[in-house]
Chain A
Amino acid sequence: AQKVTQAQTEISVVEKEDVTLDCVYETRDTTYYLFWYKQPPSGELVFLIRRNSFDEQNEISGRYSWNFQKSTSSFNFTITASQVVDSAVYFCALSVAGGTSYGKLTFGQGTILTVHP
């Protein structure tokens, strides 16, 4: 079975601060995929990124960056120079390649990020 843990329930920062959201995962599968989703106050789920288990290259997209480390089973998400519009709930999720999970996304509990002006 798969498990995703986001230990930070809530984070509060002031605008322009950098913030890192932690994600730790558990799986026995050797091929898996990790995702981050953003849920703004309006409620929809916005896809941010997908990483494959065999690609540990870190990724940067504007103010967003992701650090994938298989050795620690972590897939952390950093927002640089946070803005009020970054306030949202962020979910980390895991999917494995086939097997009995059949495409299921296993989500972490979510981290509520509040960015104050």
Chain B
Amino acid sequence: EAQVTQNPRYLITVTGKKLTVTCSQNMNHEYMSWYRQDPGLGLRQIYYSMNVEVTDKGDVPEGYKVSRKEKRNFPLILESPSPNQTSLYFCASKLSGTSGRNEQFFGPGTRLTVL
């Protein structure tokens, strides 16, 4: 089954404790991205990756890191989480980043709470 998986689905942590949210897709997609969803703001892009070893900032990258060492994986790293990073996070992938027409496939979401 074609899918995007994220782990963990729920996470409660404390300020400053490094964490990683994993994302994996099995569709051989070139493009992957991370979004955060906050009430009243919709979803906003954090980082994206056009392909292996190619990553760039989205609209709200501060406090986050990513890496793309393999095509299927795109982990989101919070090296020193703060309470303002409490949010619902979605990983997404699409066939190609150079075309706006491709549908994006979203993971199930990770609900993160930083105390």
Is B84 interfacial (CB-CB < 8 Å)? no
Q: Indicate which residue in B41, B42, B100 contacts A103 across the interface (CB closer than 8 Å).
A: B100
Chain A residues within an 8 Å CB radius of B102: 103
Residue of A6, A95, A107 touching B43 (CB-CB under 8 A): A107
State how many residues of chain B have any CB contact under 8 Å with chain A: 32
Restricting to A65-88, which residues have a CB under 8 Å from any CB of B?
none
A20 at the interface (CB under 8 A from B): no
Q: Is the CB of A102 within 8 A of B101?
A: no
Known contacts A45-B90, A52-B101; A103/B96 CB under 8 A: yes
Nearest chain B CB to A37 CB, angstrom units: 8
B74 on interface, CB distance cutoff 8 Å? no
Which residues on the A side are within 8 Å of B103 (C-beta)? 35, 47, 50
Contacts of B40 in A (CB 8 A): 9, 109-110
Query: CB distance B109 to A43 under 8 Å?
Result: yes
Chain A CB within 8 A of B67 CB: no
Interface size range of chain A in the complex: 20 to 34
A96 to B35 CA separation, bound complex (whole angstroms):
17
Question: Chain B residues with Cβ under 8 A from A103's Cβ?
Answer: 31, 33, 48, 94, 96-100, 102, 104
Known contacts: A45-B90, A103-B33. The answer to whether A33 contacts B100 by CB under 8 A is yes
CA of A31 to CA of B99, assembled, Å: 10
Cβ of B56: which chain A residues have Cβ within 8 Å of it? 102
Q: A32-B100, A33-B100 are in contact. List 8 more A-B contacts (CB 8 A).
A: A35-B103, A45-B90, A47-B103, A50-B101, A102-B48, A102-B50, A104-B33, A104-B59
Q: Please give the residue numbers on chain A whose beta carbons come within 8 Å of chain B beta carbons, in ascending order.
A: 4, 6, 9, 31-33, 35, 37, 43-45, 47, 50, 52, 91, 93, 95-98, 101-105, 107-110
Lowest 5 CB-CB distances: which A-B pairs, in order? A107-B42, A95-B100, A103-B97, A45-B106, A107-B43
